[in-house]
Amino acid sequence: MGHREADLSVADWVTILDENPRVVLEKHNHVGTEEWRAICATICEAVRRLQRDQLVVVDEAHFVAPQAEKLPDPVKHIATTGRGAGTSSMWVTQRLSECDNTVLTQCQARMLGGFEGGDLGRVSEGIEYPEALHNPAADLSPSGIPEQLLPAGRERPVTLQKHKDEQDRTIGSEWIYSDDDGEKYRVNTQTVSMDSTHYGSRGNKLAMPEYA
């Protein structure tokens, strides 16, 4: 996604998305944050015009829907009324404090890991269990934690943790799933089998191939 795509209209994107049911769009390094936000708003408007069941996944959601900026109407509609029109959405971010509150509060299901600082303060919105579980440094008593949210194989620490090997490489992390129906449980990624393969270690940059 570069400057060329920024010139595409809503109608252009409707055609692209209609002809390509599965599309992955990556922000080009030369595209600024404001321009990227505008492109995403145009795409969201195009998505709303498609008459079909669909899923929109927004990675680095704090750039597309930042708390510090006015939320573009097309983006807001995807988050708030999209489900009624057949459009579900997933919002992925490591910076809860920078993500728009409207987007966060509209989520019907959440998968949250460990946080600190201002991000930790946003965890409490929409959950019905101790938010301190998401603070890896907190020292909580197991007696005050719902049984399904206690870690397996250890008594303490109760809070969500990262797991590392002898070379100090992260080999797993802990999360809590919860939804508006009241379901909640703890997840350790070390015990999760993925349907897709992750290539490369943390921090590796993936480059698009060049075609002649």
Q: In whole angstroms, what is the distance from residue 31 CA to residue 29 CA? A: 6
Scan for tokens 């944050």, then name that residue.
33
Please name each of the domains of the chain with its CATH number. 1-107 (3.40.50.300), 109-193 (no CATH)
Tell me, yes or no, if the pTM score tops 0.95. no
Q: At what angle do helices 33-49 and 73-80 cross, to 10 degrees?
A: 50
pLDDT tens, N- to C-terminus, the chain (212 residues): 777 788 899 999 999 999 998 999 988 888 899 999 999 999 999 999 998 899 999 999 999 999 999 999 999 999 998 888 899 999 999 999 999 999 999 999 999 999 988 888 888 877 889 999 999 999 999 998 999 999 998 999 999 999 999 999 888 999 999 999 999 999 999 888 877 776 655 555 656 555 44
Buried b (16+ CB within 10 A) or exposed e, 51-89: eeebebebeebbbbbbbeeebbebbbbbbeebeebebeb
